Amino acid sequence: MTQSLTPADVDRVLQRFYGDVRADPLLGPVFASHVTDWDTHIAKIAAFWRNAIFKERGYSGNPMQVHMAAGNIEPHHFDRWLELFDATLVATLPADMAAAWSRLAHRIGRGLRSGILLQRNQNGPPILTD
């Protein structure tokens, strides 16, 4: 990740992003069914990203388990999440920092999306498309 990215940049991106998420017709209701304290949620997600980007050890949790247990998260939600996140990155950060963080977000998103697909298809043949 670009060395000039700072923890303050992470906070700025997440504040803007989750404002957009709350207003989004697809993602807003999904998040609203799980998040009641946005400040706490954003702080936890900021700790996640600080761990992923800066190797800070302030995050404890299992994103895969949380997303799988939610029950109302569908694979296509990750596509919209990434679309909004990319737009926030581009609008908030210099291009090189936005691109680097976007690549990381897409890798993580692919993993979470795959986990949801696998969970939904545990008893059937593997899903080869989607």
Could you give the number of structural domains in the chain?
A: 1
CB 80 within 8 A of CB 24: yes
- 37 occurs within a structural domain: yes
The whole-model pTM stands at: 0.85
Q: What is the pLDDT of residues 12-63, one digit of tens each?
A: 999 999 999 999 999 999 999 999 999 999 999 999 999 999 998 888 888 8
Nearest-10 crossing angle of helices 75-92, 7-23: 130
HSE at residue 119, side-chain half, CA atoms within 13 A, is 18
- 26 occurs within a structural domain: yes
Could you tell me the CATH number of the domain that includes residue 97? Answer: 1.10.490.10
Tell me how far apart the alpha carbons of residues 75 and 4 are, in angstroms, rounded to a whole number.
33
Tell me how far apart the alpha carbons of residues 77 and 34 are, in angstroms, rounded to a whole number.
14
Structural domain of 44 = 7-120
- 83 occurs within a structural domain: yes
Q: What is the pLDDT of residues 67-106, one digit of tens each?
A: 888 878 888 899 999 999 999 999 999 999 999 999 999 9
- 65 occurs within a structural domain: yes
